Amino acid sequence: MRTFFGLFAIFLLSGCSMAPDKPQKINGVSFVSSRDTINATHIDPVVNIHANYASIMPFGFVRSVDHHEINYNRQRQWYGERRDGVRQYIKSLKARGIKIMLKPQLWVGGVFTGQIKMNDEAAWEQFENSYSSYILEYAALAEEVKADIFCIGTELESFIDHRPDYWKRLITDIKKVYKGKLTYAANWNEYDRTPFWNELDYVGIDAYFPVSDLKTPKLEDCKLGWLKHKDTIHAFSKKHNKPILFTEYGYRSVDFAGKQPWRSDRDMDQVNFEAQNNTTQALLETFWDEEWFVGGFVWKWFHNHERSGGENDSQFTPQNKPTEAILKEWYSKY
């Protein structure tokens, strides 16, 4: 009995000195579709950085911002963008313990999707019917494969501004076929006027907020640049009583990475790893410890890890760059 109480006292004392475990976050990667099937070789690097979620993105293609038909699940598309490929990707990732956000999204001939706007009522109705078919097909697939989160759209601000009633009906229809968690990927300057957050589980934000105008910002420059954005995001979370999810986040390994983080111009090609490191580290330090923040999906992650990113790459991926180690260290804490 004396031994038991001695061990119990040691347990209490050691427990009192230990910090409470940090809650698990969504440590996500935006997993880019390819022409091929995927296997453990492609998934090992995801597991190795302690990611626990992957965003799978079957694209639908629109000819122009005023064209009313969405082309999707076509044989001409890459395997990973089609229904059969999406199912194979999800099955393979889940087998390795990676949870899934299914995030169908549109591509409009190199033009920002937020500019989609039809010219008359008939065109709007045709486009809405096409979008509903697209989204509901993947919502049904999300239910079939038990995806953990379903994202109902990505950066469609003009579509939402002009047709809010349609979106409320769409969400009702989605809930009839998919029973998991729902979000929408609002652009960083759109989320505060998106009208249907109360119908979803997470406030989803593609977090390309400007944080520094400097060519190579220091970590503290970037953290200072986040202050006003963070306060506004937190207040919005409290207002709607919804947690915040960064449906996309990330920075290019390029000069001025924190100035306009959404830019993907090919003429921005001056490689700058320090800028990517500091902007990424600042975002992780600013948000990952907050209770009202559930995590996010880094943009973006390619299946062929050994050939992705690297020392000459100025694009978003952290693969085979110093930022990958930062991401791995941070994700390992949660």
* Contact assessment for residue 65 and residue 21, using Cβ atoms and an 8 Å cutoff: no
Q: In whole angstroms, what is the distance from residue 211 CA to residue 153 CA?
A: 25
Gyration radius of the chain over CA positions = 21
* Per-residue pLDDT at 20: 52
* Contact assessment for residue 199 and residue 171, using Cβ atoms and an 8 Å cutoff: yes
* Contact assessment for residue 277 and residue 323, using Cβ atoms and an 8 Å cutoff: yes
Dihedral angle computed from the Cα positions of residues 24, 29, 33 and 36, in that order, rounded to the nearest 10 degrees: -80
Of residues 229, 223, 160, the one with CA closest to residue 190: 160
* Per-residue pLDDT at 21: 65
pLDDT, one tens digit for every residue, the chain (334 residues) = 444 344 444 334 444 434 456 779 999 999 999 999 999 999 999 999 999 999 999 999 999 999 999 999 999 899 999 999 999 999 999 999 999 999 999 999 879 999 999 999 999 999 999 999 999 999 999 999 999 999 999 999 999 999 999 999 999 999 999 999 999 999 999 999 999 999 999 999 999 999 999 999 999 999 999 999 999 999 999 999 999 999 999 999 999 999 999 998 888 989 999 999 999 999 999 999 999 999 999 999 999 999 999 999 999 999 999 999 999 999 999 9
**Backbone φ and ψ of 317, nearest 5°:** -55, 140
Q: In whole angstroms, what is the distance from residue 261 CA to residue 160 CA?
A: 23
| Enclosing H/E stretch for 62 | strand 59-62
| Enclosing H/E stretch for 130 | helix 121-145
* Contact assessment for residue 207 and residue 246, using Cβ atoms and an 8 Å cutoff: yes
* Per-residue pLDDT at 110: 75
For the chain, first and last CA: distance in Å? 38
